[in-house]
Amino acid sequence: MTKESTVLPRVLSPFTALCVVVGSVIGSGIFLVPATVARSVPFMGGIILVWIVGGLFSAAGALTVAELGATLPHAGGPYVYLRAAYGRLPAFLFGWTEFLILRAGSMATLAAAFARYFAQLVPSPAGIRLELWQMVAAVGAIAFVTAVNVVGTGLGGRLQVAGTFIKVGGVATLMMLPFLSGGASVDRLSPVWPTVFKGSIFKGMMAAMVGVLWAYDGWINLASLGEEVHEPERSIPRALGLGMAILISVYVGMTLCYHLVLPFPEITSASGSEGIRKAVAASYCRTLLGQTGVRAISILVMISTFISLNGNALTGPRAYFAMARDGLFPTTLCRINHRFRTPANAVIAQGAWAIALTVVGTLLIVAPAPPSDGGLPSWVVAAWTKLNHTPLYDVLFTYVIFGAIVFNLLTITSVFVLRRTMPDAPRSYHTLGYPFTPLLFVAASLLLMGNMLADSQSRIESLAGVGIILMGLPAYAFFSRQRNSPPVE
């Protein structure tokens, strides 16, 4: 297999690159997470601070990845950067974890959110359990975006552009509603600051930060498309910088609008565990537009999660494609479809695994947990019992965010290594504020990971994510014994 036969064509425009950043990030988070943030941080100044700090933290990562993407514009993004900086093993562990849980888990999570809203608009047929109907909707959504991105990367990009226009336009309309209807009141922004600062305030802000980072998650996706974006040396830095500015503005603005319209108690009592009708966005639209608004926000969130799902189907397979091209994954995954000129096998493999996670997770939720004396380990029974009472969306949440932080951290630190080991590499863009920008990301990542491990509620899921990463060691030993082709530089 020649190098030329495994090089992806450049078919994505700079504007599509921007839509990949914005469209991949805006999912269901901004419609659900503000209620979680308000419960953890019950004062307006802290709420806005969490959204801004979370945005700046993500922007610091994005601005650093922009340099890496402009320097090494190849398929696979973080996999390529980690391979260049630290060698094949850390790069493989990223790709392994990306396939098993990060990307496929994100797709399953987004599909579960999509299905939740779909089932409210299209009720389950008589005799079919709601959970099974949602599973069918989630599997259908994953299968659809997988098929689109098999047929054409350009087609997947156009779907991303169209969907991004719809979701950004929808959110902008939501932000204008209070001022057009006269439903905004600055009195609802109280309290701005607590009368007494306690240690619990910092703990609450750190807990809220997990949800905020989930809402911002996806900014790194564009890096994986470096081989397919026109003029990546300029397009990637511009898309990441402008994209993060748009996202921070939208998230902070939408959060302010929620609080201008809804009293604090109503926001903190909102929940997305039963779908959008009880989410903070639904309360907001119901107050301004009545029940028509609830239906409208359900459609908007469904579209928003669907387009984020497409963003993952578009970007994720490039890591496995690059691994296979290096001989560290089955070589079939680096084959380019002769008709469509896409990494079709890698796209299909990711979609199939995301569907498997969705089906198995749903069946474990539906099937009652076995008795504690049934012979299974106690931790298995405990996990199964938790699944019986927890939506799939919420179960996958912590696994995905912790693993993402681990590898995002390693990716960002690779900029320090590559500045030293590849000093003469062409760099059309240098990280703004270097070295403080990547150091900010590193410090915040370590603090957040420590907080997640210290929290008893997220510790088990976080450690399970570490276990999945370590499972990649024997897998690496197996693939590295196979005949490897030289990496594409």
Torsion of CA 47, 49, 55, 57, to 10 degrees: -130
Residue 124 in domain: yes
**pLDDT confidence of residue 229:** 97
**pLDDT confidence of residue 5:** 62
pTM: 0.89
Torsion of CA 449, 453, 459, 465, to 10 degrees: 40
Rounded to the nearest angstrom, the gap between the alpha carbon of residue 425 and the centroid of all alpha carbons in its chain is 30
Residue 489 in domain: no
Residue 1 in domain: no
Residues in the chain: 489
Rounded to the nearest angstrom, the gap between the alpha carbon of residue 433 and the centroid of all alpha carbons in its chain is 25
Residue 158 CB coordination number (10 Å): 16
**pLDDT confidence of residue 27:** 84
* Number of separate domains in the chain: 1
Torsion of CA 77, 81, 82, 86, to 10 degrees: 170
**pLDDT confidence of residue 330:** 93
Amino acid present at 391: P
- Tens-digit pLDDT profile for the chain (489 aa)? 555 467 899 999 999 999 999 999 998 888 889 998 999 999 999 999 999 999 999 999 999 999 999 999 999 999 999 999 999 999 999 999 899 888 888 898 889 888 888 888 898 998 888 889 999 999 999 999 999 999 999 999 999 999 999 999 999 999 999 999 888 999 999 989 887 777 788 888 888 988 898 789 889 999 999 999 999 999 999 999 999 999 999 999 999 999 999 999 999 988 655 555 678 998 999 999 998 988 898 899 899 999 999 999 999 999 999 999 999 999 999 999 999 999 999 999 999 999 998 898 788 777 777 787 777 777 677 767 766 666 555 555 556 677 788 899 999 999 999 999 999 999 999 999 999 999 999 988 888 788 777 776 667 667 777 777 888 999 999 998 875 445 555
Residue 485 in domain: no
Mind spelling out the 3-state secondary structure of the chain? CCCHHHCCCCCECHHHHHHHHHHHHCCCHHHHHHHHHHHHCCCHHHHHHHHHHHHHHHHHHHHHHHHHHHHCCCECCHHHHHHHHHCHHHHHHHHHHHHHHHHHHHHHHHHHHHHHHHHHHCCCCCCCCHHHHHHHHHHHHHHHHHHHHHHCHHHHHHHHHHHHHHHHHHHHHHHHHHHHHCCCCHHHHCCCCCCCCCHHHHHHHHHHHHHHHHHHCCCCHHHHECCCECCHHHHHHHHHHHHHHHHHHHHHHHHHHHHHHCCHHHHHCCCCCCCHHHCHHHHHHHHHHCHHHHHHHHHHHHHHHHHHHHHHHHHCHHHHHHHHHCCCCCHHHHCCCCCCCCCHHHHHHHHHHHHHHHHHHHHHHHCCCCCCCCCCCHHHHHHHHHHHHCCHHHHHHHHHHHHHHHHHHHHHHHHHHHHHHCCCCCCCCCCCCCCHHHHHHHHHHHHHHHHHHHCHHHHHHHHHHHHHHHCHHHHHHHHHCCCCCCCCC
CATH number at residue 217: 1.20.1740.10
| Letter string b/e over residues 191-215, b meaning 16 or more CB atoms within 10 A of that residue's CB | eeeeeeeeeebeebbbbbbbbbbbb
Q: Measuring CA to CA, which residue among 316, 397, 402, 458 is closest to residue 110?
A: 397
Q: Measuring CA to CA, which residue among 225, 253, 252 is closest to residue 240?
A: 225
Q: Please tell me the distance from the alpha carbon of residue 89 to that of residue 477, in angstroms, as a whole number.
A: 9
Q: Please tell me the distance from the alpha carbon of residue 224 to that of residue 102, in angstroms, as a whole number.
A: 14
Q: Please tell me the distance from the alpha carbon of residue 403 to that of residue 98, in angstroms, as a whole number.
A: 9
Q: Where in the sequence is the domain holding 275, given as residue range(s)?
A: 10-480
Residue 22 in domain: yes
Residue 202 in domain: yes
Residue 488 in domain: no
Residue 2 in domain: no
